[in-house]
Chains A and B, each alone.
Chain A
Amino acid sequence: MLSGYVVTVLITIGIYVILALSLNMITGYAGQISLGHAAFMGIGAYTSALLYTRAEFSFWPAFFVAGLVAGAVGAVLAIPCLRVREDFLAITTMGINFVVEATFLYVPFFGAGMGIGGINPPRLFGSEISKPGFLLLVTGVIAAVIAVDRWLIRSWIGLAWAAIREDEEAAGAMGIDVVRFKVLAFTLGSAGAGLAGSLYAHFLTFIMPVNFGFGQSIVILSMVVFGGIGTLRGPIVGAIVLGALPEISRPAMEYRTLLYGILLLMLMRYQPDGILGERSLLVRGWHALRQQAAPMKN
């Protein structure tokens, strides 16, 4: 059996996988850079925590409402993001993150600096689920997110997102309603972050504003970029590797932000497609190997 510690680490990594996959919908597929993804994780976490501690919701409805609320706020906040591109979009989303974090920190309703405690793990059939049970729940949510991801990518939505990412003006000239598809990307991505936030709150049992700050957004973005932005495998592998690293090595934990910052810089300079993107060294090497092997088979 897995030790309690290993299960805890796996649950944390699993929550990061959901966050990375949902950010990938916005930044990878639709090509809209976001430096504020943790804000939507926070909105989900706080929604779930407030419903549970103040409104006597049980975990399950609170979990779904957290996703809906985060998605709805994502849709509304997408509007200021529609008129700006690239570097201005990066700054706008960063600003959104600071505003959301400050709201949690200064508004007494949200517990201010003390955060919210007493959020219990989900209950199933009358008893609290165990840690391995929670891991199973997280795995189930990941599977659902992957299923939605694949469905989107195979549909017109995925193709429209790709067109917007490559050439927004050309996409419009082909009849694609760019605004609608951008808002859809922000909505779905934010909803995913909201679900992850709810899981996070009920796993840690207490939340504080600092958990959902700009630093957290950078951690999520690093995972997406490290693994390979715009692919399915990339964010998953990125979240697993960068999520496990601080657990394996103590210095990596202490210098986490510094490490991720340097990693982002190095990736942008040498491997902008991450370790598993289409043009990464690993994937190109793999294709080259297969091409060399192919004639031998004949």
Chain B
Amino acid sequence: MTYGEFAAVRGVSFDVHDGDLVTIIGANGAGKSTILRSVMGLLRPRAGKILFRGEDITAEPGYLRARRGISLVPEGRRILPDLTVEENLRLGTYVLQDAGEVAAELERAYSLFPQLRARARQRGKTLSGGEQQMLAIARALVGRPRLLLLDEVSLGLMPTLVEQTFQTIKELYRQGATILLVEQNARMALSVATRGYVLETGTITLSGTAAELAADPKVKRAYLGG
């Protein structure tokens, strides 16, 4: 099943299958965030098509895509700083309609990230960088997304937290989530992904399974430091 196909001005085309963990790696400024923001509907591509579960959603605004089950963890941990942790999470459940589901999803998020439970009544901005990242991921998860978009989740985190965040991503994948992961940290990304694309200045130059990409000499030289 094809989850989405995206063709930007540069002729970027890729797809994410149900239950897949796909990564797009590339240097800073290669256009990775642009792709995710276009899939979420925060940017309109000038040409090309975005298909989600067989339907053309290219012209659909972001809030309707969110209701279809697309969820973005934006770059730079953009949580709502003046709202409490719980309010942030409740907003993540906005796409669910049933009050019972909301409570169950909040509980699931708190058991996945116990630190957040302890800070439920604190304002988002009082959390540490790592905790804010957890909140950003949790907020995306509580809406039970069909497709989770992760934009540079490792950026600016301490190495131990990077490790922890990728463990979480792996766990989510094992539980059946469909994930599109955009990363500068190619080594980490390829270690968790099933398939990958290499993006260079707005064009996809290479694609394959994560193992194939990790073994590719060009990828090794450019992104894996050897």
Contact = CB atoms under 8 A, between A and B. Distances in A.
A167 B94 contact: no
B224 interface: no
Contacts of A156: 94
B74 interface: yes
B11 interface: no
A174 B83 contact: no
Interface of A: 156, 159-160, 162-163, 166-167, 169-178
B74 A177 contact: no
B95 A175 contact: yes
A177 B95 CA distance: 11
B157 interface: no
Contacts of B63: 172-178
Contacts of A176: 63, 91, 94
A163 B92 contact: no
A175 B80 contact: no
B188 interface: no
B94 A160 contact: yes
A169 B95 contact: no
B82 interface: yes
Contacts of B95: 174-175
Interface of B: 40-42, 61-63, 66-67, 71-72, 74, 78, 80-83, 87, 90-92, 94-95, 139, 143
19 contacts: A159-B87, A159-B91, A159-B94, A160-B91, A162-B80, A162-B87, A163-B80, A166-B81, A166-B83, A172-B62, A173-B40, A173-B41, A173-B71, A174-B92, A174-B94, A174-B95, A174-B139, A175-B95, A177-B63
B60 to A, nearest CB: 12
A80 B41 CA distance: 23
Contacts of B40: 173
B87 A174 contact: no
A163 B83 CA distance: 8
Contacts of A177: 63
A170 B94 contact: no
Contacts of A167: 78, 80
B220 to A, nearest CB: 35
B74 A173 contact: yes
Given A162-B83, A163-B91, A175 B61 contact: no
